[in-house]
Amino acid sequence: MTARGTPESNQPGRMDKDQLWLICPICKNANPSGTLHCKFCWGPSLYAVEPISTAELEAFKESYRAKQKKLGLLRNLIVYLGAPLLIFGGIVFWMYNFTDLILAPPAHMNSSSFPGESAMFRYNVERSGSTSVTAVNPTGVLQWSFKTNDSILTSPVVVNDTVYCGSNDYNMYAIDIATGQKKWQYTTGSWVESTPAVVNGIIYFGSNDGKFYALDAATGSKIWIFDTAHAIKTAPAVADGIVYFGCFDKCVYALDALTGAQIWKYQTGSYILSSPVVSGGVLYIGSNDNSCYAFNAGDGRFRLKLSYKEVSSSPAVNNNVVYFTSERYLVAMDGKARNWPLETGIRYWWGRFYFARILPPPPPITGGLWATRISFKNTTTTPVCDEDSIYTTGDSKVYRVDAATHKITWTFYTDGFMSAAPGLANGIVYAGSEDGKLYAIGAVDGNQLWNFQTGGKILAGPTYAKGVVYVAADDGVLYAIK
């Protein structure tokens, strides 16, 4: 029996050795010379095909059969070897992107400050705002004050014998810690609302002019500038030679701390007011897209997105639990959690099918541990935590929340709205209010120890160092209270 598409099947009897043939370029079947279109596949025109002799056709058939045999072997090889390789690749992809079995976050990376430095907003991952713990506690007496030319919306930073503070008069100031006299000032192109970080003799901060600055902390001279073209209001965090910050262009940036070269960046869904924190090699930061994010601090790989409400506060971390405020709630997030693949999109449709009674309820939101309501208005305050408690503010109140029970254990009332992060040192909570007062409150019982009246609203958190509390107000004055 002859095969379909060979010269033997095209004409009866023995092939004429003088017969010429046309090979279809699509199906590779032989057509007698003079055929206009392939009669096997009715595809292309054969007008431009060069005719071949019967001997050449036989040679073509042998070559074609050998080629098809090789292709068959290759297909089998792909099926029997390619499939396992594809499965293996999928497993590796899963392990790399959704587990810590391959390239886990560098556990040594942490943005808590070493002595003589201020590596992040509020000094450590717990956001205490305390540079050192001593036996001396302030009593509410003014030691000195320093006047700038506009309101101050940044927390002061104390490193060795200098306190650093930005102002809406476009300047970053360095002030002598003992006398309150100016050491130097550096003028930017707009308001400075970014609380600085000081590491290895370099001060880092952003400005509303869209630039991120690195200056010599001793002299105020420029080392490098990184331009984003959008306002930078967040405080930077420095860990293992990398400086991190959020920006109004919706991005989180990681730069080389010495050169300013970009290492990685990640774009969120909205502008960023939250200041980053690095703990155990993981960077946590909030975004006004109603989410708190977690990234591998070394390479920027995405780990977790916990969507709740607007997150303008800066996260605090204790024992792998991340705390932040979101609108009216204090939220606790699992710092080690990771989203499962395509979780956001799948959860959206899963919820729709659940409400249509087609699917069972979706699993709990990845990373969410608990949330406690703390206010009736939107709160953007950064919490501070210790081993068993979280301290935060909401409305005109200061709260202590038990970390184990998630219950409010005491409430302290002020006479103004609270938008500044509290501080914690030596068992005392320091909290500034828009009534212009700085309050010292016992951390255990919530009783007032003293208060100090400033000349304006307190919109940024206080800082404790060496027995003195430093706080700024929107009257443009920085106060040192002993």
pLDDT of residue 189: 97
Position 322: which residue type? V
pLDDT of residue 308: 84
Domain regions of the chain by residue span: 7-98, 142-481
Buried b (16+ CB within 10 A) or exposed e, 248-265: bbbbbbbbebeebeebbe
> What is the chain's length?
482
- Check residue 399 and give its pLDDT: 94
Tens-digit pLDDT profile for residues 106-152: 889 999 998 878 889 998 988 887 776 676 899 999 999 999 999 99
DSSP letter assigned to residue 436: S
Phi/psi-derived region of residue 476, left when phi > 0, alpha when psi is between -120 and 50, beta in every other case: left
Query: What's the mean per-residue pLDDT of the chain?
Result: 90
Using the CB atoms, write b or e for 124-154: b if 16+ within 10 Å: bbbbbbbbeeeeebbeeeebbbbebeebbbb
Low-confidence ranges of the chain (pLDDT < 50): 1-13
- Looking at CATH, the fold of the domain delimited by 142-481 is given as Methylamine Dehydrogenase; Chain H (2.130.10)
pTM: 0.83
Cα(259)–Cα(262) distance, integer angstroms: 9
